[in-house]
Chains A and B, each alone.
Chain A
């Protein structure tokens, strides 16, 4: 009999109720780009860097989809920090 045990979750963890394993998807590829927004029609002096991410994800049927999003630098650093935590935890299992 197989069972899942919670080993470690951060304060804002997923609760079991909003997560069904049947809906989770596999990351097939992670592509990134570091961009710099220079100027726009509403702001001539934007000059902010951002990280653009393209995720290729596959659901259980094997269909691959692209999902894109952008992060500001502080958001990326939080993302990276959280991921390092995941890596540390998964190693101890």
Chain B
């Protein structure tokens, strides 16, 4: 195996590129791009299986959402395998996962959401009042604008009007949701 592939300097960059392509949906990160940028001395034939191995390792870690104990065990096993990784490389991979885990998980969550997500929320409260001889009639109205949208698509804006009664009704429902969440989050 080419000496460069055993090193660990360019590996960080490689993992970034792999993450961009596999999780963050970045198009156009090809094998050749990664090779020429990070391992220019290595031939494509030698680079290919190396890239596949690293991609496989990264995907396994992300798919299992490994915690640090699992990661440790997994990477140690990889260093002991025939055709596995060096302990320097294991250290680079470990550091990469620790730094990027949250972002990668977020991307994976977004990838698996096929309904619209909530992108924005704003509101105001208006008070309608009548002047000119008639009694002041206050009918306050809450106006809420929700911005929703599916991954990669343009937002849809929903502008909802609520009077006091509706606000109260919805508040009750939201407190029921909150209660369900608390029940769910309770330790088993």
Contact = CB atoms under 8 A, between A and B. Distances in A.
Contacts of A26: 160-161
A45 B63 contact: yes
B123 A10 contact: yes
Contacts of B52: none
A69 to B, nearest CB: 4
A40 B178 contact: no
Contacts of A50: 113
A52 B181 CA distance: 12
B110 to A, nearest CB: 10
A93 B118 contact: no
Q: What's the dominant secondary structure at chain B's contact region? A: mixed
Interface residues of A, number: 62
B37 interface: no
B30 interface: no
Contact of A46 (B109, B176, B178): B109
Interface in A25-42: 25-27, 30, 32, 34, 36-37, 40, 42
Nearest to B130: A2
